[in-house]
Amino acid sequence: MNQFYYSPLTLIILLAAYACGPTHDCDVLPGPLSEQDIMKHVEVLAADEFGGRTPGTVYEEMTVAYIIGQFEELGIEPGMPDGSFTQDVPLMGQVSQNVNVTLRSGDQQVRLAYQDDAMAWPAHTQRSVDVRNAELIYVGYGIVAPEEDWDDFKGMDVSGKVLVFKNYNPVTYEDRFDGGNRLYYGRWTYKFEQAIEQGALGALIIHTDETAGYGWDVVRNSWSRERFFVFEDEEPSTQFNGWLTHERSRELFEMAGLNLQDMLHAAESPYFEPIPLTGVRINATMDAVYREIAGQNVVGKIQGSDPELAGEAVVFSAHHDHLGIGAPVDGDSIFNGAWDNASGVSLMLNLARLYQMEPEQIRRTLYFVSVTAEESGLLGSRYFAENPPVHAGKISANINLDATNIFGKTEDFVAIGYGRSDIDELLSEEAERLGRIVKPDPRPEQGIYYRSDHFSFARVGIPALYPNPGTQFVDKPDDYNEQVAEYRNKIYHTVHDRIHDWWDLSGAVEDLKLIYRVALRIANADEMRQWTPGDEFEEARRQALEEASRL
């Protein structure tokens, strides 16, 4: 027999204390949140058994089933209008074979070793590419931006030519291109889109660690495996896309009697004009096999409690795919993607759990969307943003969770794109309440705003918040930021992205508290979020709101 008697009131107090615990503030969260709450989902999704979670494979099926199972266990409703948890994303999978690229100038011929010197693949659904004796033209950044008074083509007809691009966008002007930070114009996707727009035969991007923001290994690992794209009936004129290493790019320009560094510098001028690589020709042959697949987005929701606002929404996104299985490195061939992005999916699942504890307190409907094919160009999120269960003009904001803080507690909280929307007002207020500060992207030259799924939402006008780990670490060595940089470089898009003993999820717990509070305020505010006046996505927002008002 128990020797102690507790009154009902005492039991309620004790249970509340236990639920919140010494590290959980009941004024911040409705229930407990621990490092293990985050780790447990990562341990499942990043296990070898999940095979790197490639879209269109049994491993994606396992991933989707796991996320749906977690939603069902939490009592999260299916989020699609047909009553299901899944949205099929029509993808084409492409695998290149027999890639052979050579440069020729007079009697000199240089064969580019696939993966070591160059990456190349068919630009669309070509089963065989056979480009012979094609001319090459260096087009600088290849940017056409009227609002920046910039046009690298100057009216030159480059159709039928292979275009060579400098990566990034101009960096030498305070009043242009956001003072030299990477915009969408600086992304590889824009370069390949421009090749299509200009009617080019092919596109090659010059790689440097500085202009890409990552090493050649990332290019090789990302493009040497099966690639995915959303199928479109229209075939572009462009036959192939690719990358060249810095060394081979230097050799290419020397064959044309040009100095690579001089040419990279020339691209900084608004007066730049395309430069034919005179006397040099390129041959590119390759085959490809394809498969039509349905990638899957997983969509759950918590219905809003306010009859006036329940038709509006807040969308949380996290991509569940990674790079699958590749060539063995030290005996390991599985790209587990523990940080990128099993960690983000876990944050999303934990947010769903916490919000489900008090659904009556949430005015707008919350959607939790696990998207496919992010690593292939944000394909799953783009498809969802263009085909959402509610109109984009009725979505107040997107909170995107990608590669969370695995490095420990920080005093600061980084918001990618800070200052672009009025989300930041709420973010700063809640951060101050929790004794933290908000900082902008410390590496704007990386163009991270255009490299994760929130960009898909921004393109259709939806204001987006993309949290990143802070840099002011608590109780860490003075050189810890340098250690973090080493960790990032070692694991990003490599087989080393798995759970390590140096992981410290205490920072993820603190970040999630802040994200929870900010998103709750967005969901309960009388007004929807807006872009800062003059932002590049303001017009898309205006159009979306106008369309939604007519529904």
For residue 410, the cross-strand partners are 473
Residue 439: Cβ within 10 Å count? 18
Structure token pair of residue 213: 């923001």
Which CATH architecture does the domain made up of 95-289 adopt?
Answer: 3-Layer(bba) Sandwich (3.50)
pLDDT at 126: 92
The ranges of the chain annotated as CATH 3.40.630.10 are: 32-91+291-472+504-549
pLDDT at 13: 39
CB 489 within 8 A of CB 223: no
CB 285 within 8 A of CB 63: no
Cα–Cα dist 500/487, whole Å: 10
Helix axes 58-74, 343-355, angle to 10 degrees: 20
Residue 281: Cβ within 10 Å count? 19
pLDDT at 8: 46
Cα–Cα dist 211/417, whole Å: 20
Cα–Cα dist 506/409, whole Å: 6
Helix (H) and strand (E) counts for the chain?
16, 20
Residue 158 carries which side chain, given as an amino acid letter?
A: V
Distances (CA, A) of 38 to 6, 187, 339, 347, 496: 33, 32, 12, 6, 20
pLDDT at 221: 87
Q: Which residues contact 67 (CB under 8 A, 6 or more apart)?
A: 298, 320, 345, 349, 370
Q: Which residues contact 549 (CB under 8 A, 6 or more apart)?
A: 393
Distances (CA, A) of 93 to 57, 86, 196, 224, 473: 11, 20, 20, 13, 41
Classify the C-alpha dihedral 16-20-21-25 as positive or negative.
Answer: negative
DSSP 455-501: HHHHHTT--EEEEE--SSBSS--TTHHHHHHHHHHHHTTSTT-S--T
Each of the 551 residues of the chain gets a pLDDT tens digit; together they read 344 343 444 444 344 444 444 334 557 899 999 999 999 999 999 999 999 999 999 999 999 999 999 999 999 999 999 999 999 999 999 999 999 999 999 999 999 999 999 999 999 889 999 999 999 999 999 999 999 999 999 999 999 999 999 999 999 999 999 899 888 999 999 999 999 999 999 999 999 999 998 899 999 988 988 888 887 667 788 999 999 999 999 999 999 999 999 999 999 999 999 999 999 999 999 999 999 998 999 999 999 999 999 999 999 999 999 999 988 988 999 999 999 999 999 999 999 999 999 999 999 999 999 999 999 889 999 999 999 999 999 999 999 999 999 999 999 999 999 999 999 999 999 999 999 999 999 988 888 899 999 999 999 999 999 999 999 999 999 999 999 999 999 999 999 999 999 999 999 999 999 999 999 999 999 999 999 999 989 999 999 999 999 98
Residue 131: Cβ within 10 Å count? 18
Structure token pair of residue 500: 């390590």
Distances (CA, A) of 520 to 80, 132, 336, 358: 22, 58, 32, 11
pLDDT at 233: 65
Residue 410 carries which side chain, given as an amino acid letter?
A: T
pTM of the entire predicted model:
0.84
pLDDT at 225: 84
Distances (CA, A) of 103 to 160, 255, 278, 323, 482: 17, 9, 12, 31, 40
Distances (CA, A) of 165 to 122, 191, 414: 17, 7, 31
Strands 437-439 and 412-416: parallel
Strands 202-206 and 77-78: unpaired
98 three-state secondary structure: strand
Structure token pair of residue 34: 């621990």
The ranges of the chain annotated as CATH 3.50.30.30 are: 95-289
CATH superfamily placement of domain 32-91+291-472+504-549: Zn peptidases (3.40.630.10)
DSSP 193-216: HHHHHTT-SEEEEE--HHHHSS-H
Structure token pair of residue 238: 């462009």
DSSP designation for 68: H
Structure token pair of residue 147: 């609002």
Radius of gyration of the chain (CA): 25
